[in-house]
Amino acid sequence: MFSGSIVALITPFRNGIIDEEAYRRLIEFHIENGTSAVVPVGTTGESATLSIEEHNRVIEICVDAVKKRVPVIAGTGGNSTWEAVELTRHAKEVGADATLSVTPYYNKPSQEGLYQHFTTIVKETALPMVLYNVPGRTSINLLPETVARLAEWSEIVAIKEASGSLSQMTEIQVKCGDKIVLLSGDDAVTLPLLSVGGKGVISVVANIVPRNSSEYVNAWLSGDHERARDLFLKLFPLCQAMFIETNPVPVKTALAMMGWIEEEFRLPLCPMAAPNRNKLAEMLRQYKLL
């Protein structure tokens, strides 16, 4: 259902509120440059610091701006199952094509709890779901055995895998086959993931270089593996630079330097330390983005 370079959109702010005009410009930038789908209010979209009203509004803006030209995979996860259900219902009502649903954070459920969490959401909403496993942020790991159980549900169509373990990602592919689409949740491991059957990436770096990201992923999927490898290796240092500090601080700083947005974050996120900011600026100059 999903493949290619999918962008985990940042949420731009101006004077403390959502900058709708900048957001719409960014969405056009992605559609014009080969992004295959967009993800509003995921981790990179600072979902954890948006109010429910803001969260819903960002999805509404995104759906309206996209106008069905590419799929919208709305971030609607949460550590409360019923809050995630309500966010997903809203996303469905306003026309999102699917949802990105992160493993519940902080409360650390068992694997059975994770299974019941995700199946409750799909039973209550019947909207295609992309699972999101990112144990570095949530303190819980969605294991391959549980993914295989969840893949039996027709509404659960893909997983964004950001465990950092290629072994775990490969095991998911072995256990699930074509029942679920395997997507990279970390730009730096996308090419290895593609080599074991992955179909794409939900990308941070695509926020600033959507064409570059889509080119190497599409090259791999079309069978031009040597070109894909060359393009990926060229992009790799920029992928690393997006994590000099906690995501999305570097990528939003980069977009601000490039003139796309104001350099604003929601506390507890804050501007980059000067040495890291200088390193980021130098990297952008190397890629001729400044």
The catalytic site residues sit at 132, 160
CA-atom Rg of the chain in angstroms: 18
**Count of CA atoms in the C-beta half-sphere (13 A) of 27:** 27
Q: How far apart are CA 232 and CA 282, in angstroms?
A: 20
Going by C-beta distance under 8 Å and a sequence separation of 6 or more, which residues neighbour residue 208? 238, 251, 254, 255, 258, 284, 289
CA distance 62 to 6: 14
Amino acid in the structure at residue 111: Q
Cross-strand partners of 181? 158
What is the DSSP code (8-state) at residue 125? H
Please name the amino acid found at residue 82. W
252 and 10 in contact (C-beta within 8 Å)?
Answer: yes
Written as six digits, the tokens of 119 are: 């199946």
- Residue in this structure with the two tokens 């980069």, named with its chain if needed: 254
160 C-beta neighbours (distance < 10 Å), count: 28
